[in-house]
Amino acid sequence: MRKTTTIRIHGLAGCLSLLLITMFFTARIIVNLIGDHGALVEVKKLTLIGVCVLIPAMAITGATGHLGARGRGDRVIRVKRLRLAIAAAIGLAVLVPCAVIIQRLSASGDSGTTLHVLQAVELAGGAACIALLSANVRAGLIMTGRIHKHRPARPGPGAAVAVSSVPGRDRVAEGQDPRHGA
């Protein structure tokens, strides 16, 4: 497989993983805020089905990332690998077991403390995975040149603009915030 194809597959699988986790997370929050018990049971059932897509997507992301980064050992690659490993560990050790147990508890009608604690743990794990995978997507976009690491800041409307009439001395333009000038 060509490297460009591998990188494209990696990006698609990584974005799919991030999208799925974000959808699970968002659906859970919405259902907990405005849904009823039946909606919670349905969301948990759909989440378990979605996990059957998520796990292969994350495996493909890891495998294609490994292939695409072959021969590179720079810091960006090491950090991306670490983030993916942590997200996968959270997913397999926290999110999947919580999803299974929560689905069983909610299907049986249990809405006690155990269910609420597991939901909180699951939401915290989901938030962590979203943050880790988002950072990896950003790093990947920077590596491929699709976005720049540092963008020059543009002054907004009404921002202090330094003007100089004497070389080496700045003064603040009239009517602007004097804290930003000399």
For 56-103, the pLDDT digits (tens) are 998 999 899 888 888 887 898 899 989 989 998 998 899 889 988 988
**Tokens in use for 73?**
């050992």
H helix intervals, 73-168: 75-90, 96-107, 113-143
Compute how many other C-beta atoms are within 10 angstroms of the C-beta atom of residue 174: 6
**Tokens in use for 49?**
């089905």
* Domain membership flag for residue 29: yes
Q: Could you give the count of Cα atoms lying within 13 Å of 110 in the half-sphere of its Cβ?
A: 14
Give dist(CA 15, CA 26) in Å, integer: 16
* Domain membership flag for residue 70: yes
* Domain membership flag for residue 158: no
* Residues near 155 by beta carbon (within 8 Å), at least 6 away in sequence: 161
**Tokens in use for 173?**
């333009």
Domain span at residue 118 reads 3-143
Q: Are 142 and 135 in contact (CB under 8 A)?
A: no
* Residues near 9 by beta carbon (within 8 Å), at least 6 away in sequence: 60, 64
**Confidence at 130, pLDDT banded by 50, 70, 90:** very high
Say which CATH number the domain at 33 has: 1.20.120
- Interval 136-182: pLDDT, tens: 999 988 888 888 777 656 666 665 555 545 555 555 454 555 555 44
* Residues near 109 by beta carbon (within 8 Å), at least 6 away in sequence: 37
Number of structural domains, the chain? 1
pTM tops 0.85: no
* Domain membership flag for residue 156: no
* Domain membership flag for residue 157: no
* Domain membership flag for residue 94: yes
Question: Is residue 146 exposed (0-12), middle (13-18) or buried (19+ Cβ within 10 Å)?
Answer: exposed
